Structure 1
């Protein structure tokens, strides 16, 4: 039977060849003849379908042969933009690179698939093979940008590292190349805690001739490293409108009374999106949370600007002092009574008279930080564009009882770091070193496990109970009218 299958590896039909590969590898012991044929297929077969099947079989092929086949597969530049092939090759390569980093670097010499170059570098960083990787980087031109990007990605969020002994010489060599390579080298150097890199970012930030994107990048990298040089510059940067959103986010990385007060004192002058970001920052730490609570008491910041999910985080961050002002959070309510109440409000006639455009504004304020609809909004909660939202019963069930049917991916996770910062969201990735969380209002945040003081998985959704109670009845009607639209209104 094996001989018959091997003969099919040269069949004219690409699907016959593909199935032959799959069947020959089912018991994880393809013959020597089959392995030789696989190597030729990886090198010469013009069918991406066949190459995909071969890539998917890598984990069922003996290691020595898998290296050779993977090396040939990564030399097909035409597969770089394929949706599946680079990832499938990597699934087979990843355990090999883990056990033999040097062979992984050897494979890079002829690699024509940028994603693979990036992922190999990232995997070596995860394995703390920094010196080996840096030595390689110092002697290549091919794939250099992709390898450096992989290094940068692997080091993201890590500011607890000392520069490897061979880094400084390689760094100087890379900066001479200028452009993207020099920029990536500087970003990597800062992750190694290099003073020179910090000073370069500060100089970039202070130089008004630098582009806005360059200055934003400098803010974000300096903030992630909690650099005191940035902390001292924040009061001056706050007045620069193009940078303000990033500056407000950066304040959450520090724990300074004057920075919290800076946000509160300027709150009224902020734009709507800046105010949302400001509330997120002020609810991230006990010191800032207390300043926000006082601002609410003094009506410097309106209570209506605080989303229900933020109130729940403030309860955790500030404690009973927040409850004394705000009142009970998530009071128990009878679902049946709430359902009857909103069924009586949301009659077909009342919804017909509601305002779709105003409903969109209510959605953006109350729902859009977490949910996306028609391409706009956050991604921490489920996408709503294709949901059964036109069905009023479906809408009420999910809004009145948000934790009634909750997928594991959407359970609320609360992490508090050793320096007192609180993150609320859901975990989207995790490895031995870091947790990646999707946070309200942000794409994601990476948190080093060594920095985590406590981590709780709550049996509830991030969406709080009673969210409809935080808005007026006419706003509920407008929201439902907007939710029931099948396309956005201009």
Structure 2
């Protein structure tokens, strides 16, 4: 155990019994070169609350020639309960910015100040230019009552010095947002149409954030406040304000996430340590005011994609009926009809299902049929998706990959699809082996037998088999030299949909540029057995919807009312959060096994030479 650390040759110092010292001696101790003694002296002052030393401490705090002693004096005055209103106002005008900053902090810690002190802090916010003081003003303004804190935030939003400190804009919004729930009327009063805040960059930024915040609150009071604020937004900003309102409405269902580990364990992850903890929020239906605002904008331009999307999403009266009319109008361009069907699929209810069945079965253009198939995928039960299986042999090739994803998500339709292969109505070679991995989650003997019959074994190999595979690959690699240029093309075909290397490729798997690519054993282990070690950020999820459909992949975006899930080919599927019944972490990597087994030995050498290279 270490009791004391001191420099070699340092003279021994005699301990000071701080508690036994007189109050005057405590004041002298504030100048001790060892800051620990100054700290202990202030603690003793706080215990004694000796008013006789306060005048001397105030004189110390007024010093302009020594910042350290000025701060020691201010802190000691506060510890001795001597920071009265008159002295506080005086210290707010001190020439040293650190003294001003600490005065603001000490006053804010009280959470309540007098009117005169509040006015003095507001005046300071108007004239202050030092970034440290401005950040402290923002931090303290959220701790003070709104009658005092909001004028301070208003002054900060008019500052042009925001760009000098990257923290100040965040702190300013933090200060403003704190008062939204408790004093909404006063907050909105800052953003009247003629307010100077709309003429400053920070004021505009906070005003638009406030639109989003009120819409995302998900309460009728929040909606009505959002409408009132939208009415005050100047004309040039109206379009951007509407976008922020739509963004807030999309975020209504998003709850706060728990505190993580700060990235401490991001390199590796396990299913036990990384179980998803999602918090959902319920929200009110739109108020009449906000619904009327959206309806008015939509009715003014019903072909506008933004307002159409918002009207259908929010269930504005007449929007769904209008969308159905346009979907049924065969005189319209197919792309426009498909867009309206997409909106119904994304934001409609189960009563949209018959519309999807109708337009999938009929001789519709590919765009419309594609969206009709998505309607079946979202709302359909296995018996409904049977129409996709029946139509599959004659389905457009561009629609077949997505059709397979949908039918493989249900046991009954997956089995019916593989029966088509067994009856030679569908060629086995047209189905990628990677897609068949999703069938393992059904744990059905008949599916397993059909897969083995037509594609061979695709399940994960045993540890012994993987070791044997690695030895065989090492032997192939020793047999010749690789060609990096040819390897680059193989990387683009086999890996780039998910992985990035030298700045090129996808983002749903680890960037390989800074990994241990030079270590051949580590490289082969990660390719042959990708599920052995999975970084926490890339753990896959298994999602089961209310219709019974299973979706497996990496969740790449949780914002808004949909989850974006990327599959092993890098393609993204959007799953409505309202449809999710179960979500769990998978212990199997999104990256499929046996990737290298389809390569010839020379191709293997080419790919590895590129992966281990130093340049693209």
What TM-score does the superposition give when structure 1 sets the normalisation length? 0.73
Task: Give the alignment's Cα RMSD to 1 decimal.
Answer: 4.9
Residues 223 and 394 of structure 1: is their aligned pair in 2 closer, same or farther, counting only changes over 3 Å?
same
Which structure has the larger Rg? 2
- Alignment match, 1:197: 319
Q: Determine if the alignment matches structure 1 residue 153 to structure 2 residue 153.
A: no
Partners of 2:614 and 2:437 in 1: CA distance: 32
User: 2: CA distance between counterparts of 1:101 and 1:301?
Assistant: 64
Q: Partners of 1:347 and 1:466 in 2: how far apart?
A: 20
Match 1:417 to one of 545, 549, 555? 545
Q: Spell out the pairing of 1:333-412 with structure 2 (5 A cutoff).
A: 333-334=463-464, 335-347=466-478, 349-352=480-483, 355-356=486-487, 358-363=489-494, 367-373=495-501, 377-412=505-540
SS where residue 383 of structure 1 aligns?
Answer: coil
| Partner Cα distance (2:429, 2:94) in 1 | 71
Give unpaired runs (5+ residues) of structure 1.
Answer: none
The whole-number CA distance in structure 2 between the counterparts of 1:447 and 1:336 is 41
Distance 2:482 2:420 in 1: 36
- Partner Cα distance (1:100, 1:442) in 2: 46
Q: Secondary structure at the match of 2:548?
A: coil
Alignment partner of 1:29 out of 86, 100, 109:
109
Residues 324/225 of structure 1: CA separation in 2 closer, same or farther (3 Å cut) = farther
The one of 73, 97, 104 aligned to 2:180: 97
For residues 26 and 291 of structure 1, the distance between their equivalents in structure 2, rounded to whole angstroms, comes to 72
1:129 is aligned to: 219
1:457 CA displacement:
1.9
Aligned partner of 1:252 in structure 2 is 377
What pairs up with 1:238-387 in 2 under 5 angstroms? 239-240=365-366, 252-255=377-380, 256-262=385-391, 265-266=394-395, 269-270=397-398, 276-286=401-411, 288-297=413-422, 298=424, 300=426, 302-303=428-429, 305-306=431-432, 308=434, 310-317=435-442, 319-327=444-452, 329-334=459-464, 335-347=466-478, 349-352=480-483, 355-356=486-487, 358-363=489-494, 367-373=495-501, 377-387=505-515
Verify the 8 A CA contact 2:141 2:152 in the aligned structure 1: no
> Which residue is 1:175 aligned to?
298
Listed as ranges, the gaps of 5+ residues in structure 2 are 1-70, 76-87, 254-281
Q: Which moved more, 1:397-406 or 1:288-297?
A: 288-297
The residue aligned with 2:271 is: none
Using the alignment, how far apart are the partners of 2:377 and 2:517 within structure 1?
A: 35
| TM-score of the two chains, using structure 2 as the length reference | 0.60
- Cα deviations by residue, 1:123-157 (Å, 9 ceiling, x for unpaired): 43443224542464266151543443234234439
Distance 1:11 1:67 in 2: 24
Q: Is the 8 A contact 1:355 1:481 kept in 2?
A: no
Q: CA contact under 8 A between 1:389 and 1:484: conserved in structure 2?
A: yes
Question: What is the rounded CA distance, in whole Å, between the counterparts of 1:85 and 1:280 in structure 2?
Answer: 48
Count of residues in correspondence between the two structures: 471
Instruction: Show CA shifts across 1:286-341 (max 9, x none).
Output: 45534543454437254574353x43322225744332222452132334333322
The alignment partner of 1:252 has SS state of helix
Other-structure match for 2:310:
188
The 1:144/1:474 distance shift into structure 2, 3 A limit, reads: same
Distance across 1 between alignment mates of 2:450 and 2:573: 31
